[in-house]
Structure 1
């Protein structure tokens, strides 16, 4: 099945584009108004080979199942404001799969568009250095990683560069004491490298950094120098719910710094997660895990194509209560 999206100032203009490119056999999947005018998503079945009548009937039923699947996926992607070009590619992937389960087709399209890496693959050999904009949740994510190490019966050391902020050191001390992890405060690349080098062979080092303006080259250079000195893997911590274009620009800036992995946070408090999808795709970052709660224990979950598809599918628009909606 060939799937395409057309945009025109009016529905008639968009439909004319559909007929011109796909012909009269095109099937209209959806018609939506947006800022650019009217957006029409249409599909064209690929030519079928001659077959007996029962086989043709079965193929017809399968094509309608595929149309229903793409309708489901298109609605989810539209709700999350996934950028149009990426959404179209994902819909094409899903439409070409012979699957009766739209959720599995959705998961396959996510697997094709994004990269995933199990959190457990990051062992004690290299420190994990968390970077990101201010307020992204780096310190809490660092504590959650220490908690994951604790659950795996591994030792960890939290190296914080954020101890200078008001309450930063006290917060880190509270986290590490509760999680039975070591705490080291270091405010320069050399100090971080020294602390990382001094860790035990079986000790997982997690480096918590200060908030960084992604578009400030000098601030990003400090992060790069610190990661290089410590031999660390850079992981971007990015809150969900932001504008997809802004999230993509932020991720690209941190990718230039050397970040290859992504941990989105606050997924429990966001209704639309298209920014996370856009950021991971354009910056070619592998999703490691996701923050789904402010609580340290159990607040970080593994992410794979199936779990992400289900998470996206269950997010619905916020509906104000009757009390709040009343005048």
Structure 2
């Protein structure tokens, strides 16, 4: 990832925005980047023509990358030339423990990995992860509006902005709506992110207001339709899922949004949380109809165990991960093989490694 960042800066300059990143089926990091280009009033015709040609080629490259099929969760075997970690049950067990995977889940994964021993620890652990957990990345243009829900401080607003930025780069007009209109600074934060990607933030002060905004995007009044032509991303206020009143209010919001436009609630979950709390919270949020988790703050946590515990207990699939709070770094898609490489990073060669995450976060080694 560090090498990819350097290449992006060299090709597009310091103003380049990294919209998303993921691991492809060859085990390499693919980065989608964009740079805002403003018309040059005083440039000559030749320069304008060159700049236009360059912009056109960059747009074609970005679209090709985004439209290429993402690495499937089923791709859990290392590709040719990928680093192989010799199978060792103690190595896998120690790596799972280092990532704070709860003991019961850790033991089950280790037993499955031993049964799937393929001579490569990464492949064996990937097989065990795939058998136990779900991995389902969010598409660039979701067919249903995406509603970010979660605990305080999980990073819902910036995560939503990153998802919207991917769709904008893909050429889709997007809607960004916030229902978090009470918390101090929430609207200003949403507007700042929306402005960065050239989108107007719309406010929904109530359930009825949100339903009206969602109805505007439906193919016909009263019909839940395919929103992939104009993706919609909805931010919500953070809630304590163990507070009956707060959770009931969010439940009413999500239920009405699902009726109005088939909205998909997506849990934004910080990897910093305690495994037990993350599990209990994920179970509660799954009751709202959430099917996927976007994991955040892995740059600080450097451990994915609490996220795995939450996904295992709730049945939610892991979609993407965020390793930085900054919009420019985007989201990385997850599958079982990427997750296994992350866990066994100390033994494997390193894309998606916690070490660069820590440096990007400004932490000391």
| 3-state DSSP of counterpart to 1:123 | coil
Alpha-carbon distance in structure 2 between the residues aligned to 1:298 and 1:170: 21
Alpha-carbon distance in structure 1 between the residues aligned to 2:167 and 2:329: 12
**Is 2:224 the counterpart of 1:217?**
no
Corresponding residue number in structure 2 for 1:43: none
Alpha-carbon distance in structure 2 between the residues aligned to 1:108 and 1:68: 13
Alpha-carbon distance in structure 2 between the residues aligned to 1:298 and 1:309: 22
| 3-state DSSP of counterpart to 1:95 | helix
Verify the 8 A CA contact 2:141 2:167 in the aligned structure 1: no
Alpha-carbon distance in structure 1 between the residues aligned to 2:158 and 2:165: 10
Q: Report the CA distance shift for 1:68/1:102 in structure 2 as closer, same or farther (over 3 A).
A: closer
**Is 2:259 the counterpart of 1:241?**
no
Verify the 8 A CA contact 1:212 1:220 in the aligned structure 2: yes
Alpha-carbon distance in structure 2 between the residues aligned to 1:257 and 1:294: 26
| 3-state DSSP of counterpart to 2:344 | helix
**Is 2:175 the counterpart of 1:157?**
yes
| 3-state DSSP of counterpart to 2:139 | helix
- CA distances 1:237-285 after superposition (whole Å, capped 9, x unpaired): 1111221111111111212222221111011111222111100100000
Corresponding residue number in structure 1 for 2:33: none
Structure 1: tracts of 5 or more residues without a match: 1-64, 319-323
RMSD: 2.3
| 3-state DSSP of counterpart to 2:217 | coil
| 3-state DSSP of counterpart to 2:276 | helix
Alpha-carbon distance in structure 2 between the residues aligned to 1:86 and 1:190: 42
- Alpha-carbon shift at residue 212 of structure 1 (Å): 0.3
What aligned pairs does 1:279-290 form with structure 2 within 5 A after superposition?
279-290=310-321
Pick from 139, 161, 171: which aligns with 2:189? 171
**Is 2:126 the counterpart of 1:107?**
yes
- Alpha-carbon shift at residue 296 of structure 1 (Å): 0.8
Alpha-carbon distance in structure 2 between the residues aligned to 1:111 and 1:276: 15
What aligned pairs does 1:166-315 form with structure 2 within 5 A after superposition?
166-199=184-217, 201=227, 202-231=229-258, 232-314=263-345, 315=354
Stretch of structure 1 that moved more, 115-124 or 228-237: 115-124
Verify the 8 A CA contact 2:255 2:288 in the aligned structure 1: no
Alpha-carbon distance in structure 2 between the residues aligned to 1:284 and 1:227: 19
The two structures have a TM-score, normalised by structure 1, of 0.72
Corresponding residue number in structure 2 for 1:130: 148
Verify the 8 A CA contact 2:140 2:163 in the aligned structure 1: no
Pick from 140, 149, 161: which aligns with 2:158? 140
Structure scoring higher RCO (CA < 8 A, sep ≥ 6) equals: 2
| 3-state DSSP of counterpart to 2:269 | strand
Verify the 8 A CA contact 2:86 2:121 in the aligned structure 1: no
Corresponding residue number in structure 2 for 1:34: none
Structure 2: tracts of 5 or more residues without a match: 1-83, 219-226, 346-353, 359-363
- CA distances 1:131-166 after superposition (whole Å, capped 9, x unpaired): 111111111111111111122222211110123322
Aligned length: 254
| 3-state DSSP of counterpart to 1:241 | coil
| Larger proportion of strand | 1
Verify the 8 A CA contact 1:130 1:209 in the aligned structure 2: yes
Corresponding residue number in structure 2 for 1:82: 101
Alpha-carbon distance in structure 1 between the residues aligned to 2:98 and 2:307: 14
Structure with higher Rg: it is 1
- Alpha-carbon shift at residue 128 of structure 1 (Å): 0.6
| 3-state DSSP of counterpart to 1:211 | coil
Alpha-carbon distance in structure 2 between the residues aligned to 1:146 and 1:190: 23
Alpha-carbon distance in structure 2 between the residues aligned to 1:251 and 1:280: 7
Alpha-carbon distance in structure 2 between the residues aligned to 1:95 and 1:190: 53
- Alpha-carbon shift at residue 66 of structure 1 (Å): 11
